[in-house]
Structure 1
């Protein structure tokens, strides 16, 4: 039982002791009853006269704490009793035990450990109230207890075991900690049922520890349920009349009640309160169990299983059709919303030309660069839209969060072609969209955030080759000419290019002005320099953002900008060896 168990915070007994005026512990073991007492955290003895209480005379231990024998225990009997009195110097006068929370925890634990008997007895009033919790059905009964709607399916149990290896520090006989690869076993037990309602209720646990914010085990479960149901819908597409539409996660999980439990040694949690499981390998193990067990339900030839799986497919397809109908209705009603109105943001510096093919929108980082860009632009066909620093990471955010973000909403509004599935490329107001950010790490981050917005909500612009990244120079070298001939200005775009230029000048015996100007941002350039290098069509350099492989691009954006931290951390660690120190703009 101790191979896969754990507490919640790791400080329970010590915190209770610290907050108690008196705490007594009795342990039955080895035919004896051992005892120890504490007064506000200090060990000692109470001189009880009758009923024990915190007001009894207390004598602290002078030398060291010790266990005392206070009675005999029957052979083979073990157990622990803890009794404590809350310290009224710490708690307010009206503080009281929350009986509802204690009963909820007792009920939950009794469900998770079949056959365990837990008694909650409230003796505070004139009459003692006692509640006993004991469930032989385990998490199957738990799922039935949580479900509030009529069932479509029975409560299905999905059970399995998987193994994985991980590298952990192991204490050697010499006293040294050595990184060692060990094999772990993960046991999966899931109770799941679908009902007629729409609410999704999921409770997940690791070693009987509740993980209310989910983790890798819940991700693996939900992703695989969606995959299995999608596969079944595709196989029954003609009967279900679904066409090319696909289920999404909300369709598959609507009306589902699930209790997910996994047991494994030394799980990795995110945070002290253990609300999120972080062990990466558990995701795949849970997914394999769900794939095998749920797949077997759909492949079963039993009459009950066939009826229930058929009803389940009907339900999830009905959810999908309702969602698509609601979205279509919403899109027909949203012809004049905030993003499609005729009024444009005040901060937009628009161009005069109405020729879409000729016009260009520069999205500029910061107001300082905007001031220079206003003077450097050709106002006939170049428009400017400043953004304030780093916009919202839309890969993680919901659509409502994206639309309520001022910077994202301004960009969509200025381009004027809508967003998401309602995006209409012919409605775009500009032929080119050029992202103009500083040539440093922050500028690259801002460019990535902007590309994430375009990739997720305005992808046709990228597919049509209309999104570009400006390439401002890094250095400005003024080459001296002898006599009255004017000096020559050369811009370089990388450290390597600068060194090659300087070597070439040295070999030819030519000199240059020191120090060489190193641009830290667009705001350091004057208007002529910015126009010549970055905005004037005759001499600028642009990088076209291409979308050669949409699926691969989707994976990259999810890795770099998505919700899952573990794969991104692995990518950073694995790629660190390829990083050149000289490339860091320190």
Structure 2
């Protein structure tokens, strides 16, 4: 550092140097998310070709050497010379920032690639990149090393560390073979540069497959094949419900194909997990708007010109009996996870239309004077919103938020017209669905008002009382959150034993009476009015739902301690449902555990004055293995072997040594690797629909041995 600061301290980064110096500006980060973003840039270029009607199949291959290959059947990158630069189209696309065919030149009506930096950024951040183009009956090839064109001297299979010779005077687009007549397309294979990306950055197969499935839904008729050739991470075969093959998925172990014809309506059916209140409604329309943009003239100058744009809107939505909201928005097939003007227009108009309908039917619905809020309308909604806009304005290169202002009005107009026609329909089915929808929405509003009143009552109550914690809580003395543990125990009998078995310095106890409310089927108001649920939330002290604050939780571990029988398993499942629905951050942070009490107590008799040995086992299999071992050693044991039916059958010393003492206990951490998968499991096991649960039990019955049932 120096106090002097003059012009010679300034640096001008030319071409792709800026990308390598500040990769986060273009791809977000240099970890796995940035690595995946590079792959999205290449895939999206191929998808843009398919959307434009060129090619109906895209292959994505993860190679064992860390490279990735994308192969499409589009028109192929232009191979002729671009007149302004004197370079071939292939070299322009991969070496020049803000260069491409998506700046309004007529090649694409609407596309996800807007900035002309995707392919060149990937090239700049790759240790090696090879591109092959089938076009005009020939196969052209070009290679790059960290953005610089040249030739790799490979002997056999391509590799990232092959000798490289950069071009000195003029670059060359080589012709390496003949392409079959009528065959066009592009193949890109690249090795990410480890000088840029972190050591642990890796291609995430699950994320890639999710994105491929999503794109196949958004582009009906397009087939995306994901092939994982990496030996250590071969893809598991996927299956649909009840063990049958999922639609569009092959039987190959390391290859998955996604191909759907139903479009976003089928996407909504895939996303929805609850029983339907309405069918999947399709909302389609378009509108025009004018904007002034710089337009490139033939002489190379940019001139501000007013142009008319057409914005096409396509929405699929349905309401279900659940309470969660799943809304996915897209602009030109690009996901906008943080929304934007299109999602704002959709949600605002949805609220206006339904407010008007509730006001018109206020007497039948008994809605009172309360007004609908957005959360009431969105509860149980599954929607996929797509708009196609020429040259949309995004906030940032990562395209997570749409910023084009006029799109909000157009989406609102389309939603207003389509839903107005739906609610005005005289068809019996439409009228029944509209009626059930309004009933659901008004019920949500009433539940929200009731919950707010309950919350205000609770606040006033807590303000008047000296202590807001339930009297049945047996608290610990320590205030060190990292050390404290809350045991939720089943029944008063177990509580009595646990009081003597616990370490009172850092272990707290909260008894629950029987089976708590199944919150998967209940509303928020019902959950809050349930004494046991309210006590658990109150004792943990971090709130519930959207207001849950993990940093204010009073305990470092939450341990569910129930009996080792069917009822205990049911109670544990009900408790996990409560934590998943209303205190999910505790599970995500790995702070929820299930205690594992023993099933058997075997007292091994030792000869002479040597004291007998006590051994605990945790399953029937473990018990039989132990007994066989003792017989082999000619050792005897007390009969009958004690079988624990519940925690209350243990004395304090036994409970402490087997289940509560940190030095000898066994805990099972509750994890949630995939939130969507966890949600589907909870809906299957604890939801309103009985038929899928019955089928699951029947289909899974062969996994359970008859003799293992404790009856």
DSSP-derived class of the 1:53 partner? coil
Shift of the 57–293 alpha-carbon distance from structure 1 to 2, 3 Å rule, reads: same
Which residue, out of 97, 108, 112, partners 2:203? 97
1:81 paired with 2:191, answer no
Residues matched between the structures, number: 344
**C-alpha displacement of 1:261:** 0.5
**C-alpha displacement of 1:175:** 5.4
Q: Is the 8 A contact 1:201 1:258 kept in 2?
A: yes
Q: Deviations over 1:312-369 (max 9, x none)?
A: 111000001111111222223333677999xxxxxxxxxxxxxxxxxxxxxxxxxxxx
**C-alpha displacement of 1:7:** 2.6
CA–CA distance in 1 between the matches of 2:225 and 2:389? Answer: 28
Q: Is the 8 A contact 1:9 1:273 kept in 2?
A: no
1:322 paired with 2:322, answer no
In the other structure, the counterpart of 1:364 is none
Instruction: Show structure 2 runs of 5+ residues with no match.
Output: 1-51, 53-107, 235-252, 467-545, 549-711
**C-alpha displacement of 1:9:** 6.8
Q: Is the 8 A contact 2:286 2:311 kept in 1?
A: yes
**C-alpha displacement of 1:172:** 4.6
1:109 paired with 2:234, answer no
Q: How does 1:559-578 map to 2 (within 5 A)?
A: none
Q: Is the 8 A contact 1:139 1:190 kept in 2?
A: yes
CA–CA distance in 2 between the matches of 1:113 and 1:62? Answer: 43
CA–CA distance in 2 between the matches of 1:339 and 1:5? Answer: 61
Q: Is the 8 A contact 2:114 2:391 kept in 1?
A: no
Shift of the 55–111 alpha-carbon distance from structure 1 to 2, 3 Å rule, reads: same
In the other structure, the counterpart of 2:413 is 288
1:63 paired with 2:169, answer yes
Q: Deviations over 1:106-142 (max 9, x none)?
A: 1111111111000000111276600001110111111
In the other structure, the counterpart of 2:653 is none
In the other structure, the counterpart of 1:53 is 159
CA–CA distance in 1 between the matches of 2:146 and 2:139? Answer: 23
DSSP-derived class of the 2:262 partner? coil
TM-score norm. by structure 1 comes to 0.55
- Runs of 4+ in structure 1 deviating by more than 6 angstroms, as ranges, are 336-341
In the other structure, the counterpart of 1:197 is 322
1:302 paired with 2:441, answer no
Which residue, out of 12, 18, 21, partners 2:124? 18
1:279 paired with 2:404, answer yes
DSSP-derived class of the 1:136 partner? coil
1:206 paired with 2:331, answer yes
In the other structure, the counterpart of 2:137 is 31
Shift of the 147–10 alpha-carbon distance from structure 1 to 2, 3 Å rule, reads: farther
Q: Deviations over 1:532-581 (max 9, x none)?
A: xxxxxxxxxxxxxxxxxxxxxxxxxxxxxxxxxxxxxxxxxxxxxxxxxx
Which residue, out of 339, 343, 366, partners 1:241? 366
Structure number with greater Rg is 1
In the other structure, the counterpart of 2:593 is none
**C-alpha displacement of 1:234:** 1.3
Shift of the 339–257 alpha-carbon distance from structure 1 to 2, 3 Å rule, reads: farther
Which residue, out of 216, 235, 256, partners 1:131? 256
Q: Is the 8 A contact 1:8 1:209 kept in 2?
A: no
**C-alpha displacement of 1:165:** 1.3
Which residue, out of 280, 290, 302, partners 1:155? 280
**C-alpha displacement of 1:5:** 0.4
1:223 paired with 2:362, answer no
Q: Deviations over 1:23-61 (max 9, x none)?
A: 110000011000001223322112222222223332221
CA–CA distance in 2 between the matches of 1:171 and 1:54? Answer: 39
Shift of the 12–175 alpha-carbon distance from structure 1 to 2, 3 Å rule, reads: closer
CA–CA distance in 2 between the matches of 1:59 and 1:270? Answer: 39
TM-score norm. by structure 2 comes to 0.46
CA–CA distance in 1 between the matches of 2:291 and 2:321? Answer: 42
Instruction: Show structure 1 runs of 5+ residues with no match.
Output: 342-398, 402-586
Q: Deviations over 1:470-491 (max 9, x none)?
A: xxxxxxxxxxxxxxxxxxxxxx
Q: Is the 8 A contact 1:162 1:285 kept in 2?
A: yes
DSSP-derived class of the 1:304 partner? helix
CA–CA distance in 2 between the matches of 1:225 and 1:93? Answer: 46
CA–CA distance in 2 between the matches of 1:89 and 1:337? Answer: 57
DSSP-derived class of the 1:335 partner? helix
Shift of the 332–162 alpha-carbon distance from structure 1 to 2, 3 Å rule, reads: same
CA–CA distance in 1 between the matches of 2:293 and 2:195? Answer: 44
Q: How does 1:305-384 map to 2 (within 5 A)?
A: 305-335=430-460
DSSP-derived class of the 2:460 partner? coil
Q: Deviations over 1:183-233 (max 9, x none)?
A: 111100001010111111111111111111111111111011111111111
1:72 paired with 2:178, answer yes
**C-alpha displacement of 1:90:** 4.3
Q: Is the 8 A contact 2:160 2:191 kept in 1?
A: yes
- Alpha-carbon RMSD across the aligned residues, in angstroms, is 2.5
**C-alpha displacement of 1:146:** 1.5
Shift of the 200–339 alpha-carbon distance from structure 1 to 2, 3 Å rule, reads: farther
Q: How does 1:135-534 map to 2 (within 5 A)?
A: 135-172=260-297, 176-335=301-460
